[in-house]
Amino acid sequence: MKNLGVPTILGIPFDGHSSYLRGAGEVPGKIRAALHCDASNNWTESGVELDRAGVYEDAGDLELSETNAFAVIEGSVTALLDRGKRPVMLGGDHSITYPIIKAVGLRYPRLTIFHFDAHPDLYDELDGDRLSHACPFARIMEAGLAKRLVQVGIRTINGHQREQAQRFGVEVIEMSSLPAYHRLKEAGPVYISFDMDVLDPAFAPGVSHREPGGMSVREAVAHLHAIEGEIVGADVVEYNPVQDLGGVTATAAAKVLKEILGKMISG
């Protein structure tokens, strides 16, 4: 297996382009706390011991203001790639995936994105904001930053976004057609963008836009495990602690993070 670099966590506490609710400030710390919580151990289901020194690293959290955020995010992800690391971002609202992919897409011009979400996030603009968390994949595809965009778990697509998906050649796998393990295979570089609201609100109430009829944690993990390709980066976004109940969503986010790290390490 190719050495793609050590997975390295980068916290991005930014929700400046969230259209409905705020609450991302404490997110990376809460997901880390759940990851290290003594209620579970540090072995992934794929058999990787995350406590073993050097299997992954943590670059801490970015300090961001609303005006410089996107430039700092793009620059910081580029810096990690320059150091030979594989960036794993803890969000933040989903708007951050655009500056992240500006950096990752430049490094890997034949990039495939596997995007887990209740929403396609393909709006041309929302409430006059073209950088809204409802728009990142329109910006990414317009800029030609990904060869393939495969969206999994979608259950809110409307007429405009269906047109956008057609325009950009997006492969939309709606929630109603899961499981779709065979659609998650790719020979080249792969980036995973995981919006926590792909999970059913029963499993992950701590999101800004609760959308019933979603994945169980088990279904999400099964689809993550089914991914084939060279995973060069990932993000876990849209966790909103303000909406969480008893930390259950932080625990679910940590589980998703853990299995993504395991997948990156064990291939």
Residues 156 and 212: their CA atoms lie apart, in Å, by 10
Span interacting with Mn ion, options 25-33, 83-91, 92-100, 226-234, rule CB under 5 A: 92-100
Q: What minimum distance in Å lies between the beta carbon of 218 and Mn ion?
A: 20
Half-sphere exposure of 222 (CA within 13 A, CB side): 12
Nearer Cβ to Mn ion (121/259): 121
Closest CA to 168 of 130, 134, 99, 121: 121
Nearer Cβ to Mn ion (74/197): 197
Q: What minimum distance in Å lies between the beta carbon of 24 and Mn ion?
A: 13
Nearer Cβ to Mn ion (98/108): 98
What DSSP string describes 191-245?
EEEEEGGGB-TTT---BSS--SS-B-HHHHHHHHHH-EEEEEEEEEE-B-GGG-S
Number of residues interacting with Mn ion: please give it, by CB under 5 A: 7
Region of 73 please: left (phi>0), alpha (psi -120 to 50) or beta: alpha
Nearer Cβ to Mn ion (15/117): 117
End-to-end distance of the chain based on CA atoms, in angstroms? Answer: 7
Are 224 and 266 in contact by the 8 Å Cβ rule? The answer is: no
Q: Which residue among 197, 200, 244, 259 contacts Mn ion (CB under 5 A)?
A: 197
When asked if residue 235 is in the footprint of Mn ion (CB under 5 A), the reply is: no
Residues 45 and 249: their CA atoms lie apart, in Å, by 19
Give me the 95-134 binding string for Mn ion, x by CB under 5 A, dash otherwise. ----------------------xxx-x-------------
Q: What minimum distance in Å lies between the beta carbon of 47 and Mn ion?
A: 30
Residues 253 and 175: their CA atoms lie apart, in Å, by 19
When asked if residue 219 is in the footprint of Mn ion (CB under 5 A), the reply is: no
* Site residues (CB under 5 A) for Mn ion, limited to 176-195: 195
Q: What minimum distance in Å lies between the beta carbon of 160 and Mn ion?
A: 16
When asked if residue 94 is in the footprint of Mn ion (CB under 5 A), the reply is: yes
Q: What minimum distance in Å lies between the beta carbon of 106 and Mn ion?
A: 22
Which positions touch Mn ion (CB under 5 A)? 94, 117-119, 121, 195, 197
